[in-house]
Amino acid sequence: MKRLPTYFLSHGGGPWPYLTGALREHYRPLEASLKALARELGSKPRAVLMVSGHWEASAFTVMASPHPSMVYDYAGFPEHTYHVEYSAPGSPELAARVKHLLEAAGIEARLDANRGFDHGCIAPMAVMYPEADVPVIQLSLQIGYDPQTHFALGRALAPVRDEGVLIIGSGLSYHNLREFGAQAKVASEAFDAWLQQTLVHSPPDARTQRLLQWAQAPSARRAHPQADHLIPLMVAVGAAEDEAAACIYHEQDFFGGVTASSFRFGQMR
**Domain parsing of the chain, residue ranges:** 6-265
pLDDT tens for each residue of 15-43: 999 999 888 888 999 999 999 999 999 99
pLDDT tens for each residue of 128-185: 999 999 999 999 999 999 999 999 999 999 999 999 999 999 999 999 988 988 999 9
pLDDT tens for each residue of 185-201: 999 999 999 999 999 99
Homologous superfamily (CATH) for 6-265 = LigB-like (3.40.830.10)
pLDDT classification of 268: cutoffs 50, 70, 90? low
Q: Which residues pair with 168 in a beta bridge?
A: 7, 50
pLDDT at 177: 87
Segment 107-113 shows an average pLDDT of 98
